[in-house]
Each structure stands twice: as C-alpha cells, then as structure tokens.
C-alpha cells in the first residue's frame, strides 16, 4: 500500500496543502487549508471502480494500467 502525506504550508501570502512538490489552491487561513487537506486525504482513501487509466511520466512516456478500485493509499495530514 502506498502512503500520501498532505502538508500544510504558507503559500502565495496565504496557506495551502502540498503533496510532494504540488500545491493545492491558496486558502486565506490556515484553518481553511487544514480542513481542505483533511477532506482531500479522506476522499483519497475511498474505494471506487476498477478502471483502465493512462498517465504520462516525467520523461513524457505514456503508460496504461489497470487501477483496482480497492487499491487506495494510506493518507495523513502534517500540520507544522
């Protein structure tokens, strides 16, 4: 099982959550960003349908794979 951490950070004169190097939208308050990160983390754990997905890696190569709807990551939110 993979693990995804949502980190609360200062961003563009406000707040955001960050996963890896990717920022969420900007929020006016820390509390808004924290609430959004908790919601996103919870939604990521919800199972879905098994589907075929296509995605492009950093080198521009496309991949096709089957994503099992039950294969959901473990998530957490780091604040601080």
What pLDDT, in 10s, does the model give residues 45-68?
Answer: 998 999 999 999 999 999 999 988
pLDDT 10s digits, 11-51? 999 999 999 999 999 999 999 999 999 999 999 999 899 99
Answer yes or no: are the C-beta atoms of 63 and 52 closer than 8 Å: no
Q: Rounded distance, CA 31 to CA 77, Å?
A: 13
65: Cβ–Cβ under 8 A, 6 or more apart, which residues?
52, 53, 55
CA dihedral 44, 24, 3, 56 (to 10 degrees): 90
Residue 50's domain comprises 3-79
Total of domains in the chain: 1
pLDDT (0 to 100) of residue 1: 67
């Amino acid at each position: 099982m993979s693990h995804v951490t949502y980190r609360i950070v200062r961003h563009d004169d406000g707040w955001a959550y960050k996963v890896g190097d990717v920022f969420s939208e900007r929020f006016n308050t820390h509390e808004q960003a924290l609430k959004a990160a908790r919601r996103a983390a919870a939604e990521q754990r919800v199972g879905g349908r098994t589907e075929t997905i296509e995605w492009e890696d950093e080198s521009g190569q496309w991949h096709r794979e089957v994503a099992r709807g039950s294969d959901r990551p473990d998530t957490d939110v780091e604040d601080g």
